[in-house]
A and B are shown apart, each in its own frame.
Chain A
Amino acid sequence: MKLYDQAQNLVARVGIIQVFAFVLLAILGARLYYLQIVKGEYYNEKAENQRIRLIPIPAPRGAIFDRNGKILVFSRPTYNVTLSNEPIKKIDVNDRVDDYAQGLQVDRQFVLERINFIKSQPEFETLVIKENATIQDITWVESHELEYPELRIEIQPQRFYPLGKVLAHVLGYVGEIPPKQLEKPEVREKGFRPGDIIGKGGLEQYYDEYLRGKPGYRKVLVDSRGRVQDELEVVEPQAGQDLVTTLDLDLQQTAEKQLASSATKRGTIISMDPNNGEILVMASAPSFDPNAFVTRSSKPEGRKEISVYYTNEERPLLNRAIQGRYHPGSTWKIPESVSALQQGAITVARSSIVCGGGLQVGNRFTRDTSGNHGTPDLPSAITHSCDGYYYRLALKLGLPGLIKMVETFEYDKQTGVDLPNEKISQTPKSFESYIRKRDKGKWNDIETVFASIGQVTVNVTPISMLRAVSSIGVEGRMYVPHLLKEFKPIGAIGEEDDPNYIPARAGFGYNYAEPKIIEMTPAQNKLVMKGLWGVVNAGGTAGRIKNPNFEIAGKTGTAQNSEIGSGGAKDHAWFVSFAPAYKPEIAVIALIENSGFGSSNAAPAVKGVYDTYLSKHHPDLLGGQQVAMK
């Protein structure tokens, strides 16, 4: 063909089109070079990040045992329905809420909260939406796999409290880490993620770091909708360390029974080895079931159960042993006696003070509630709980003397028990500024008189009272009460050169601090001991619990209180003790709220604990009736 004839520069124009086509292809080639060669690594990483997911495998928490190896708490595997955020990032919440709630039989409000929370998480995360999935739940999830790729069934450990309400306050419970807490950078730094289970209250909280294991993970391949296609790698979790407590479950159960059969069913019993501070019993009533928080909190009934715990006027969530503060009544006279001897207000040789059946302070006569005791010496004043004696003794000590006593017996501090949220006792030391403000800068004698018998300005925690009084039996050594006996070691996971290696964790016991020493001469100690011994063994206020084979030293207390409780304004009954009196192995304190006299309400409860202790350790020493029954 003669191209030249037919158009201007046709050959050139064809050539231009050809060059144009080649230029287009060259642009593509250059762009390819940039994407594949220059940025190949970058895109490779991006692709990997979007197809590889690490699904954490929660580690089972360490179990908790009593001192004899009886199990108190453990983790058991359950089927959980989990919810991943990735597939639902772009989806309207309302598309799912009712489907989940109906399909899985869970509370709608709960589902709504969960979805909204997980959707707000920036990274790939999963949350449990239903624990303890039933066969029906599992079938439902599996049959809706295509519609709801965000739901999965996972086997995860669940905390179980086989004893229910027994020891609930001491053990605490577990739950998901609150979203608020997760917002703190230091919490995130420790590796916490949404949905992680942490201890809440009790030993679960205090020793969370050791009880909690290190989670493993499953490395999986996911498709664009987040559906798991393949499992690439599994790194097993390392379980938490097992905790052996100093508790004795048999004694604990006796104590719980004593509280349950008490007049008001409200109070606390604590038992401790005065020689080292090991707590054998810590019971507080009324109690709660930790399982409610763990297994039932996603169901409407469970949520109601929990909300009742919070609103109940009897405050079942309060650990009365370390968080309750009560007027100690006459039990206060024991540390007061020791302090008076230390400060020289009385001496071993001259310890007698007039009782007078009470005391006239200003224009007001304050009665001795148990009559006129003449002019008793210290042991007799303790044994018969003479108020008049202590009114006068306290006036001798004055406010500075009372403050000195508070400091000596550390009523101005926490005892240091290994439980969270321990309260500090309130004393004349802490109340002084308040009273002076109220009374135009003065501390009137009447305040000293009231304080002498553990009223008005004295509000102590039962644990601090047990610790103070039981120290008298061991020459003034005041140990830190504690529940930890030992943590068991746990083995390493994987090989040492493995990138996923988790090193072993060593076992350890309680880290003992030097006991606080209450300075007393042997003669002073003997004098106070004589009074304490007499309370039970020499016709004192708690004579009815006497066991000649196993002598108990102790002190009753009957604390007036104006608090409005459901039992009316009846007195709080106290009994604090240790036994055997002159070589104590065990100390026990009981406080029964609003039940009346300490001698008739608290002392028998303590006796019950001693009897169980004897039947376990010295069955031959069991008291009269039991022997007679054989």
Chain B
Amino acid sequence: MVAILEKRSFRDFDWLVAILAVAIVSFGVWQIYNAQPSESYWSKQIIGLAIALVAMLLVSFTDYRRVIDAAPIFYALGLVLLVLVLTPLGVKINGQQAWLKIPLIGQFQPSEFVKIPVALMLAKYFGSRKAGTLKPKEILIGIGILAAPLALIMLEPDAGQSLTYFPILAVILFLSAVKVRYVVLTIVAGLIFMPLVYWVGVETGNIKSYQQERIKVILDPENADPRGFGYHTVQSMITVGKGGLTGIKGDTETSQSVLKFLPEPHTDFIFAVTAENTGFVGCISLLLAYALLLSRLIAGARQAPDRPGMLVIMAIAGELACQIFMNIGMALGFLPVIGVPLPLMSAGLSAVLATFIAIGFVISVKMRRFVN
């Protein structure tokens, strides 16, 4: 019996998704090496990949339904971790208390992982509801589920990371029969309120001057102070642009990151490094790989045996797509600089591990598509 099950699991395992994910991380390792050949980030990333791969396999062979059932426990655990970050157990790096150092386990970033329990929790709630149009009360509960971890993350403060949580709720609400008129209303309201919020933020001093600078440089990079807060954006654009069609292929003589012109090359600006080293050809290949990965995930969602499974996959796919867009948009100089890693590419064990766990979950859902 066990043998049959394993054989069937083996056959139904989504090899393409796993291989794509591993391939992107491997490509990322090469870029992390290109970013700073003299540092050891790339080798750490390989270890991270190995750990993440094991975690992905474990998650994918677990029955996702039991995990969704236990979602409140994971969700509560996630909140506890986010609270712990704010205690003296938390570690402050670059003014953000976003890391947790726990003996034996090591240092990790809970806000990367908590996305999963949030998605599970929302999927559990919205997956079990009766058919029909979404009621305002249900929307409010959804917002509440999102708001608790978000508030804790904003206390770190990590504005970039918290932005990546919104797509999760947005996707789940959209797929839970929210009325189209609400969707349109939200988009219109967003378009109106965003400039208004910015203006109010500037007037009240809640948006700090460096944040304003980061926005101004997007609007007019040529005239921004290239040595001030516009520096990151200007240097990232130079780095991307100079890659040209085929890139410099790891030439350290002219590398923007080796010469330290490009800041944070192995994390936030890994895409700029990729663009410099592999050029337009490499970047488009990477974007196609992402497109393929997202397509496979969404295809899996279409085949999901139940509603919560479908919602989890779509939430993860939506979150990944938005995060990719935010990170690369920042590297290409049309979105403001916010610290969001590029999924599967940026160096960092937490991010890779969290993404692989999420993908493992997707595989788990897909594997059980015939088990009804």
Contacts and interface: CB of A to CB of B under 8 A. Distances in A.
Interface of A: 1, 3, 5-8, 10-11, 13-14, 16-18, 20-22, 24-25, 27-29, 31-33, 35-37, 39-44, 46-48, 50-51, 89-90, 221-225, 229-230
A609 B175 CA distance: 111
Interface of B: 131, 133, 171, 174-177, 227, 237-245, 253-254, 256, 259-261, 275, 279-280, 283-284, 287, 290-291, 294-295, 298, 301-307, 310, 314, 317-318, 321-322, 324-325, 328-329, 332-334
Contact of B244 (A8, A40, A222): A40
Contacts of A10: 175, 177
Contacts of B328: 28
Nearest to A15: B298
Q: Is the interface of A mostly helix, strand, loop or mixed?
A: helix
Given A5-B131, A7-B131, A8-B133, 17 more contacts: A3-B302, A6-B131, A13-B175, A14-B298, A17-B174, A17-B298, A18-B294, A18-B295, A21-B294, A24-B324, A32-B283, A44-B241, A46-B242, A51-B261, A90-B227, A221-B259, A223-B261
Contact of A24 (B171, B307, B325): B325
B300 to A, nearest CB: 11
A37 B131 contact: no
Given A24-B321, A33-B280, A36-B279, A6 B307 contact: yes
Contacts of B317: 17, 21
A25 B290 contact: yes
8 contacts: A7-B131, A17-B174, A21-B291, A25-B321, A28-B324, A50-B261, A89-B227, A224-B260
Nearest to B369: A1
Nearest to B307: A6
B287 A29 contact: yes
A51 B254 contact: yes
10 tightest Cβ-Cβ pairs between the two chains A and B: A43-B241, A21-B321, A40-B244, A24-B325, A7-B177, A44-B242, A224-B260, A36-B280, A47-B242, A223-B259
A35 to B, nearest CB: 5
A25 B293 CA distance: 12
Contacts of A29: 284, 287
Contacts of B227: 89-90
A15 to B, nearest CB: 9
A37 B245 contact: yes
Contacts of A42: 241
A309 to B, nearest CB: 43
A17 B284 contact: no
Contacts of B245: 36-37, 40
A1 B307 contact: yes
Nearest to B372: A1
A43 B254 contact: no
Given A8-B177, A221-B253, A229-B259, A21 B318 contact: yes
A8 B242 CA distance: 48
Contacts of B260: 223-225
Contacts of B283: 32, 36
Contacts of B290: 25
A52 B11 CA distance: 57
A40 B243 contact: yes
Contacts of B244: 36-37, 40-41, 44
Contacts of A43: 237-242
Contact of A13 (B174, B240, B279, B325): B174
Nearest to A38: B241
A31 B244 CA distance: 13
Nearest to B309: A1
Nearest to A8: B177
A29 B334 CA distance: 13
B241 A36 contact: yes
A543 B273 CA distance: 93
A16 B171 CA distance: 10
Contacts of B171: 17
Nearest to A229: B259
A27 B304 CA distance: 29
Contacts of A89: 227
A225 B227 CA distance: 11
Nearest to B313: A14
A395 to B, nearest CB: 79
Nearest to A86: B227
B238 A14 contact: no
Contacts of A7: 131, 175-177
A612 B106 CA distance: 92
B103 to A, nearest CB: 34
Contact of A1 (B175, B238, B304): B304
Contacts of B175: 7, 10, 13-14, 17
A51 B276 CA distance: 15
Given A17-B314, A36-B241, A223-B259, A47 B306 contact: no
Contacts of B310: 1, 3, 14
Contacts of A225: 260
Nearest to B283: A32
A22 B321 CA distance: 9
B369 to A, nearest CB: 8
Nearest to A11: B302
B237 A35 contact: yes
A47 B298 contact: no
A47 B256 contact: yes
Nearest to B127: A6
A220 to B, nearest CB: 12
Contacts of B314: 14, 17
A40 B242 contact: yes
Contacts of A1: 303-307, 310
Contacts of A21: 291, 294, 298, 317-318, 321
Contacts of A223: 259-261
Contact of B301 (A6, A14, A33, A41): A14
Contacts of A13: 174-175
A273 to B, nearest CB: 61
A7 B132 CA distance: 7
A20 B320 CA distance: 12
B302 to A, nearest CB: 6
Contacts of B174: 13, 16-17
Contact of B332 (A32, A37, A51, A229): A32
Contact of B280 (A8, A32, A224, A229): A32
Given A32-B275, A221-B253, A223-B260, A17 B318 contact: yes
A29 B242 CA distance: 16
B266 to A, nearest CB: 16
A28 B287 contact: yes
A41 B244 CA distance: 8
Contacts of A32: 240, 275, 280, 283-284, 287, 332
Nearest to B333: A35
A24 B360 CA distance: 24
B207 to A, nearest CB: 23
A36 B275 contact: yes
Nearest to A45: B242
Contacts of B275: 32, 35-36
A274 B254 CA distance: 66
Contact of B243 (A5, A36, A224): A36
Contacts of B280: 32-33, 36-37
Contact of A40 (B241, B253, B306, B321): B241
A31 B287 CA distance: 12
A27 B324 CA distance: 12
A4 to B, nearest CB: 11
Nearest to B225: A90
Given A24-B321, A37-B245, A40-B244, A31 B332 contact: yes
A40 B248 CA distance: 12
Given A8-B177, A40-B243, A47 B302 contact: no
Interface centre among A5, A42, A47, A221 (most CB of B within 10 A): A47
Given A3-B302, A32-B280, A24 B240 contact: no
Given A47-B239, A223-B261, A224-B259, A25 B301 contact: no
